[in-house]
Chains A and B, each alone.
Chain A
């Protein structure tokens, strides 16, 4: 067992959750619902697989082929791939819809990305909680910024030292360096970074503004009829658990009362 309570398996980057880690994730699951504040999102659970046709439509195979895994059966390649992020399930559910007003969704997903690093927290199989906003252009980026600010305050309340940094996705191929630079220049992706192990900092959450990319691809229209804009903020459960155990120790019973209270636990177990 690692010091942080994730139990290694035969597969690198794939861990079993100890009881302590699962209790933290359970508390995070409940507490994150409160982070939605006055919003009343529609809750969805995303299975660990998604139609390969959806990922083809969003060109995931072109830009992130190194992260994507395909499901094979006895008959060969199936129509499914492993889900790399929760929000990809959402857009097809609204394909062809014209929205009367902005909508918000609360998605929990089991995800897979073919991470090649053995760094702690760089899991291949992990769970993600994602809030997704789809609506008119006006207010979409502001929603992302507001959610990132709220998340930063919330994570600081858990005792984590959080830095918010503009970041670029790990695009594949010769053009990746331009895509990353443009993404950073436009601040389309804001990562909330914390230490998850000694000297190792990683994004424990990230807020993304997609402009009208998914609205355009899936013919989702805003109230005015033009392609809807979308944004999301995603939290990595395992990374948050790692960051919290790294910060406060393996035994949640000994965590500061304020942290325990924010997680919905009594001051002392």
Chain B
């Protein structure tokens, strides 16, 4: 999951290859991801994992780090490891 999220971020976040080396908790907004780029990230995640973000998750915190995205996608797709 984390690798696929990093792949999507590398392609769509505007941060490029640096997303492969940042810590999972690094703040993507602070690194320079724009809200416009986050839309592409969101759409790519929805397509890759076949789900749709609910209104309640459409906020900065959801897309704030690799960890936050992984946690949210796992929660919404029911794929969180037990």
Q: With the chains together, A186 CA to B60 CA distance in Å?
A: 9
CB–CB A182/B58 < 8 A: yes
Most chain A CB atoms below 10 A, which of B43, B55, B58:
B58
Q: In this assembly, does A39 line the interface, its C-beta being within 8 Å of a C-beta of chain B?
A: no
User: With A and B bound together, what is the CA distance between A182 and B57 in angstroms?
Assistant: 11
Return chain A residues, CB-CB under 8 Å to B38.
178, 182
Q: Are A178 and B60 in contact (CB under 8 A)?
A: no
Let me know if A178 and B53 touch, CB within 8 A: yes
A175/B59 in contact, CB under 8 A: no
With a cutoff of 8 Å between Cβ atoms, the chain A residues found around residue B39 in the complex are 175, 178-179
Q: Which residues of A contact B40 (CB under 8 A)?
A: 175
A residues with a Cβ closer than 8 A to B are: 59, 63, 174-175, 177-179, 181-183, 185-186, 213
CB distance from A71 to the nearest CB of B (A): 27
Q: Chain B nearest CB: distance from A235 CB in Å?
A: 26
Q: Does B36 contact A (CB under 8 A)?
A: yes
The chain B residue sitting closest to A171, CB to CB, is B39
Residues of A with C-beta under 8 A to B35: 178-179, 182-183
Is B42 a contact partner of A175 (Cβ separation < 8 A)? yes
B60 adjacent to A185 (CB under 8 Å)? yes
- Contact assessment for B42 and A182 in the assembled complex, using a CB-CB cutoff below 8 Å: no
Chain A residues, Cβ within 8 Å of B55: 177, 181
8 nearest A-B residue pairs (beta carbon): A175-B39, A181-B58, A182-B35, A178-B58, A178-B42, A178-B39, A185-B59, A175-B43
A181 to B40 alpha-carbon distance, docked (Å): 15
- Smallest beta-carbon distance A40→chain B, Å: 33
Neighbouring B residues of A179 by C-beta, 8 Å: 35-36, 39
Question: How near does chain A come to B41, taking the closest CB pair, in angstroms?
Answer: 9
CB-based contact B60/A182 at 8 Å: yes
B29-63 to A contact mask, C-beta < 8 Å, 1/0:
00000111011101100000000010100111000
Q: Which residue of B lies closest to A177 (CB)?
A: B58
- Give chain A residues whose Cβ lies under 8 Å from the Cβ of B58: 177-178, 181-182
CA distance A49 to B69 in the complex (A): 42
